[in-house]
Chain A
Amino acid sequence: MNIFKIVYRNIRHRRLSSLLTIFSVMLGTGLVVAILILKNESEQAFSQTATGYELIIGPKGSSLQLTLSTIYQIGTPVQNMPVKVYELLKNDKRVKSAIPYVLGDNYKGFRLVGTVPEIFSEFQYKKGIKYSLSGGNFFSYDFEAVIGSDVADKSGLKTGSKFTGSHGIESYEGSETHDEYNFTVAGILNKTYTPADKVIFVTMNSIWKLHGSHFPEENKTDGNTSKLKNTDEINENSNSITSVFVTLKNPVYFDLLRRQINENMYEGINAQAVLPVFEIKQLFDIIGNINSILMVIAYLVVFVAVISILVSIYNSMSDRKHEIAILRILGAGRSTVMKMIILEGMFVSIAGAFLGIASGHILIYLLREKITDMAGIEITGMTFSVSEIYLFTGTVILTMTVSIIPALTAYRNDAAENLNRN
């Protein structure tokens, strides 16, 4: 028997009140942790996904919309632009690699992205990391598809599977399907923890054919595929693209190229060049304000929870005067009694804060797929930040501080007067 056991038994003796108090602390700290995880993981995911290339070139319009629709598969593309833009950039001596993107169709809600084979050989989706296969091959022909890992997991498509695309970038009931063309899965990508996991990569020609049928009949559903045509065959006048990822040979070209494009001084094309890292920073500046409001609310919940510990202990003091008087007559000093009350608050807050932090992680972990589906980025719920340590110690210290109020009541308890109460 020691002071800790007495405190523990006191908490257990008032089980319901203690559990409710622990729950309120858990709720507050859980909310803060959930917000912290979402903030940290989304910032990390968004920033990492936008680091393997320097510029995105797209039609004039919202630069943020262009970034979100191209990199994160969120929302609709701004507009389309002529494939000539890609051709010009590809042949620009300052450009190391130019990867075009054509959006337009989906399979069960997974977006079909028309692109070129260089997306697998040159494009870095994160700094220094290229796409790799977990099975099969990269596409060599039109109507061959390379699918992201989540597409494979959720749609059941395997290497060799055939599927038909539906019109539009989102899936909806009654959407028009392109039954005349079948795609064949050529390969499956390793998990990248980026929106690409939910993407089906096909050739640009495939997308154009679905919509415009600019190419001969041999590509239709007879099971054959046509050999991938080189870019010279792309019909510059009729076909359009959504955007182009650009990596430069030297960062010194960055400002000039961007200015040329944005000020319509680049071969007469009407487009915009955006810096994805900058756009994401802008986005988080906006989200940051909302995030701050949420954090303030969450911290207020923690504060209210801490006050509930104070109220709970303080309300119990009148019932416990007798118990404290017994301890005093058994030799417990005033300071010992005071210590016991503060320890009680500390135990309750430790339990509440610990459970809160754990439940915050568990909550996000359980909702990770929904969040990933909604936001297009990988959220695990399993990243821990130093802020959680501050939250834990802050909650415990604050509780111990407010527990001084009932502890002083215990300290001033008149043992002689309360001993004969029963």
Chain B
Amino acid sequence: MLNIKNLRKSFTNSNNETFNVINIPEFILEDSELLAISGDSGSGKSTFLSLISGIISPDMGEITINGTDITKLSESKKDLFRAKHISYIFQSFNLLQGFNALENVMIGMMFHGKADRKKSADALAKAGLSGKLFSRPPELSVGEQQRVAVARAIVNKPVLLLADEPTANLDPLNSQSVTGIIKNLCSESNISLIIVTHERNVISEFSNVREFSEINKAAGVLINK
């Protein structure tokens, strides 16, 4: 499903120092595979997910999702590909504050087809929010906000769900609940999942766990000055 080869990404800081942040010789994720990746803060996990989603471009390498190398796509085709095939869940929920829960989920559908009200309401019901369809983010608890983000992520039935520290802002009870919802919905809909986390209780929910340092060989190596 996801096949990465020779992926590299470096960043230059304000002192004109270039650091190699990502160096992944190979990475494979199978269809419907649920993978938890653990790693220290600043190790490049979020950059890794941003590269897979196509919102940043690598310096070199291939990222093939269901046979399409997204690094070869134009900017607009990459946007469309992301809208159709990839979803993202963030630590900070990233809900649009001016819109209610239902609208936030519908916006998630809008950019690759028709925003379906019924499908959006169903996705929120699956996330346990059938009674909160018209609540705006400030009216929801943090756990509920993250469940809206989960509903928004799965409503399109993507082939790949990327979750970047999705429980970092939640209490243990909500953390367990949200992790359970993500796992169940991905399994139900055959969605492949990469969840990046440093929380042990989340990692313990997954049988398939890898250390990011095993995947990424770069770890902030200074390339030049």
Contact = CB atoms under 8 A, between A and B. Distances in A.
A308 interface: no
Contacts of B83: 330-332
Interface stretch (B49-57, B126-134, B203-211): B49-57
B55 A13 contact: no
Contacts of B17: none
B79 A334 contact: yes
B106 interface: yes
A214 interface: no
B76 A335 contact: yes
Contact of B90 (A2, A327, A420): A420
Given A1-B107, A331-B111, A420 B76 contact: no
A326 B79 contact: no
B98 A329 contact: no
Contacts of B90: 419-420
Contact of B98 (A10, A420, A422): A10
Given A2-B115, A333-B80, A422-B92, A416 B75 contact: no
A329 B96 contact: no
B110 A1 contact: yes
B88 A329 contact: yes
Given A328-B55, A329-B88, A331-B112, A13 B97 contact: yes
Interface in B133-153: 152
A135 B47 CA distance: 89
A6 B108 CA distance: 12
B217 interface: no
Nearest to B100: A9
A51 interface: no
Contact of B91 (A13, A416, A420): A420
A251 to B, nearest CB: 71
A420 B115 contact: no
B80 A331 contact: yes
B82 interface: yes
Given A1-B107, A416-B56, A331 B94 contact: no
A12 interface: yes
A331 B98 contact: no
A323 interface: yes
B5 interface: no
Interface string B50-76: 100101100000000000000000011
Contacts of A329: 53, 55, 82, 88, 94
B84 A331 contact: yes
Contacts of A331: 79-80, 82-84, 111-112
A333 B75 contact: yes
**Among A13, A330, A333, A335: residue with most chain B CB under 10 A:** A330
B46 interface: yes
A1 B76 contact: no
Contacts of A372: none
Given A10-B98, A331-B111, A332-B111, A1 B79 contact: no
Given A2-B115, A329-B82, A420-B46, 8 more contacts: A1-B107, A330-B107, A331-B79, A331-B112, A333-B75, A336-B79, A419-B90, A419-B94
Interface of A: 1-3, 6, 9-10, 12-13, 322-323, 325-336, 415-416, 419-422
Interface of B: 46-47, 50, 53, 55-56, 75-76, 79-80, 82-84, 88, 90-92, 94-99, 103, 106-112, 115, 152
7 contacts: A1-B115, A9-B103, A13-B97, A327-B107, A331-B83, A333-B80, A420-B90
